[in-house]
Amino acid sequence: MGRDTLTGSRIRERRLILGIRQAELARKAGISASYLNLIEHNRRRIGGKLLVDLAQVLGVEPSMLTEGAEAALIASLREAAADSGLPVAELDRTDEFAGRFPGWAEVLATNHQRIARLERTVETLSDRLTHDPHLAASLHEVLSTAAAIRSTASILAETGELEPEWRDRFHKNLNEDSLRLAEGSRALVSFLDESDSSAERRGVPQEEAEEFFLANGYHFADLETGQATPKSLVASAPQLISDASRMIARSALEQYQGDAALMPLAALQEVITSEGIDPARLATHFAAPLPVVLRRLGVLPADILGQDAGLVICDASGSVLFRKPVTGFALPRFGASCPLWPIYTALLRPGVPLHRSVVQQGRSALGFDCLAVAWDHEPPAFDRDPLYHAVMLILPRREVPEDAQPVGASCRICPRRACPARREPSILKEEF
Amino acid sequence: MSRHVVLIEDEPNIAEAIRFLLTRDGWSVDTHGDGSDAVDVIRAARPDLVILDLMLPGKSGLEVIQELRAVADMRVLPVLMLTARGQLKDREMAERAGVTRFMTKPFSNAEVLSAVRDLHAQAAQDVKDTQKTASGQALP
């Protein structure tokens, strides 16, 4: 999607952030509200004096509206502002900052992501200290032995006259306990070492897996042709450092392999060229379940699919298991996303395919077609409750349809006012 | 005056060291290394003081203190609990369950002695206070 086509979206986003009503902006710029509406939905090209006027009312350089900055960069900067905990006075000028100093903005955004990653690592490690039973048992063993040694040693050192039988007994105890302490501490060290040996840079496993998929463009030609296996791909991936990330990547690749077997690339490409990407028809054509079709389409290279696509897979807790970002649709890196996403609606009605037009608030106000369905990912059985996963295919549209449902990325950086789904205040809201 | 302590600790060498220390200090010491029947042992011994380890085989020190406090004449018995570092959550729960005082492993012998003496003196004082109040109430 060309940059110049998004001028209207940027005007809309800027207006929403400032909390100006459409009619008000139109009046100040000397145009009708309906004309502004067309502009904001990228249905009228805009330039010249009108652009200058609108930019003036919105308090930005006209070039900010025509060129803009990457939505993802803006989102990162806003997250950085939110996480800093400091009142950032220039929050409403984030896009201007990103536009005028793209290099610095990138540095700030990258550092913020790095901080978030490190914080997660610290959390993981402290979780381990608290919850890992083996570690707790090892530590307890060492401390108990140290306690025994300390008591015994100080009896020997401090008691003036000690009967020989007692003295011998305590010497024997001391000897036993020091041996136990040596073994216990060695066990503890090797336990800590073992989990550390894989990496000097300990990232979050999901993040490593994501880097691996991103580096491969989410497409694995060798896996499709059978020249590689999930195991061999994982083993040779430099991005997958920890055992946990290898496990995550491997299970995602196994699913990929299964999906590809049901819908082989060559045949799929042929059908897409002749019939387009109607998931329901593809499901019938390949006799493949709908979740398979959506997953398959979501990771197809853009030149085969004919357009960009994003993909999200989550479990019933709403935790994102797999994410392939697409330009303009912000997927939060960590933490909960927007409950209005159709993928969560799909979880409420398992097996029922959902098609929703959505527009993500607070970004470039782009439109997206979201196709979602939830399925029991284990074979059905009478003796257990179903375990649902849901998948959502995200297809960008050029325009925002009138009936598009507003959704967000996550509450903190969402400018939508009076949202019934809001969990926590937005950092943008205070600026209104 | 008899001074009787029951020590519930599964680590034999710690038990032995504490037993030695307290015996020298004039206590009679019973030791027991298992959590599952600890409450019965304590009830049968009717000691002046209990030293209880948090991590015990069979039943945790936390469960032992909970059961002990449910017995009518064991509600005011002073209990000194031994914990290791990093057991903060358990410790909070044990405090609510009625542990009188905590000691963190590894501890020094002086700490053990002063903790035990303090608890005993405090318990004796409490008994005196209760008697005073009781006799005070009895008078018109």
Domain-wise residue ranges, chain B = 4-138
Q: Indicate the DSSP class of residue B87.
A: -
Q: Which residues are within 8 A (CB) of A338 and not within 5 positions of it... i.e. 6 or more apart?
A: A407, A408, A409, A410, A411, A414, A421
Asked whether the beta carbons of residue A173 and residue B24 sit closer than 8 angstroms, the reply is no
Per CB-CB distance under 8 Å, the chain B contacts of A158 are 109
The model's pLDDT over A254-268, given as tens digits with 9 standing for 90+, comes to 999 999 999 999 999
Which residues of chain B make contact with A176, given a CB cutoff of 8 A? 13
Burial of A339 (0-12, 13-18, 19+ CB in 10 A): middle
Model confidence at A369, in pLDDT bands (50, 70, 90)? very high
pLDDT, one tens digit per residue, over B9-57 is 988 889 999 999 999 899 999 999 999 999 999 999 999 999 999 888 8
Q: Cα distance from B99 to chain A (closest Cα, Å)?
A: 20
Helix (H) or strand (E) holding B53: strand B49-53
Q: Is B46 left (phi over 0), alpha (psi -120 to 50) or beta?
A: left
AA letter at A421: A
Contacts of B86 in chain A (CB under 8 A): 129, 136, 139
Strand partners of residue A396: A368
pLDDT, greater one: A365 or A269? A269
CB A135 within 8 A of CB B92: no
Question: What does the alpha-carbon distance between residue A324 and residue A216 come to, in Å, rounded to a whole number?
Answer: 12
Report, as an integer, the average pLDDT of A133-155: 83
Q: Given pLDDT bands bounded at 50, 70 and 90, which one contains residue A356?
A: very high
Task: Kindly list the domain boundaries of chain A, sorted by start residue.
Answer: 3-109, 132-196, 300-431
Cα–Cα distance for residue pair A409/A333, rounded to 1 Å = 10
Beta strand B4-8 pairing with B28-32: parallel
User: Does residue A417 carry a pLDDT above 80?
Assistant: no
Q: Can you give the pLDDT at residue A197?
A: 45
Task: Record the tokens describing residue A213, joined without a space.
Answer: 């998929």
pLDDT digits (tens, 9 = 90+) for B67-105: 999 988 888 899 999 887 656 777 788 888 899 998 888
A53 vs A61: CA distance, rounded Å: 10
Would an 8 Å CB–CB cutoff place B88 in contact with chain A? no
DSSP H helices in A236-275: 243-262, 265-275
Q: Best residue in A127, A143, A151, A181 to probe B by mutation, most B CBs within 10 Å?
A: A151
Alpha helices (runs of H) in A19-132, residue ranges in sequence order: 22-29, 33-40, 48-58, 62-66, 71-84, 94-100, 102-131
Backbone angles phi, psi at A166, to 5 degrees: -65, -45
**pLDDT beyond 70 at A196:** no
CA distance A417 to A19: 9
Mean pLDDT in residue range A74-99 = 79
Please report which residue ranges of A332-418 form alpha helices under DSSP H.
342-348
* CA quadruple A217, A221, A227, A229: dihedral sign: positive
CA dist., res. A145 & res. A182, Å (int): 10
Helices A279-286/A265-275 angle, 10° precision: 130
Instruction: Report residue A376: phi and psi, to 5°.
Output: -75, 115
State the pTM of this model: 0.57
Give the CB-side neighbour count of residue A20, counting CA atoms within 13 A.
Answer: 21
Identify residue A304 by its one-letter amino acid code: I
**What's the rounded mean pLDDT across residues A118-124?**
77
What class does CATH assign to A300-431? alpha beta
- Give the integer Cα–Cα distance in Å for A387 and A380: 9
pLDDT > 70 in chain A, percent: 89
Asked if B18 is an interface residue toward chain A (Cβ–Cβ < 8 A), one would say yes
Residues 6+ apart with CB under 8 A from B19: B7, B29, B31
Which residue type does B29 have? V
Q: To the nearest whole angstrom, how far is the Cα of A58 from the nearest Cα of chain B?
A: 54
Per-residue pLDDT of A288-330, as tens digits, reads 999 999 999 999 999 999 899 999 999 999 888 899 988 878 8
Report how far apart, in Å, the C-alpha atoms of A49 and of each of A10, A46, A53 are. 17, 9, 6
- pLDDT of the residue at B38: 92
Which residues have C-beta within 8 Å of that of residue A306, sequence separation ≥ 6?
Answer: A272, A276, A277
Rounded Cα distance between A361 and A182, Å, is 60
Q: Is the CB of B13 less than 8 angstroms away from the CB of A148?
A: yes
For residue A130, the model assigns a pLDDT of 63
B2 CA to chain A: closest CA distance, Å? 24
Element (H, E) at A390: strand A388-397
Query: pLDDT value at position A234?
Result: 93
Residue with tokens 């308090």: A59
Instruction: Give which of A127, A130, A138, A143 to mutate to test B binding, by max B Cβ within 10 Å.
Output: A143
Grade residue A429 by pLDDT with cuts at 50, 70 and 90.
Answer: very low
Percent of chain A with pLDDT over 90: 35
Give tens-digit pLDDT for A11-22: 888 888 788 899
**Strands ordered across the beta sheet of B49-53:** B28-32, B4-8, B49-53, B79-84, B101-105
Task: Check CB contact of B11 with chain A, cutoff 8 Å.
Answer: yes
**End-to-end Cα distance, chain A:** 30
CATH of region A3-109: 1.10.260.40
Domain B4-138 in this protein, CATH class = alpha beta
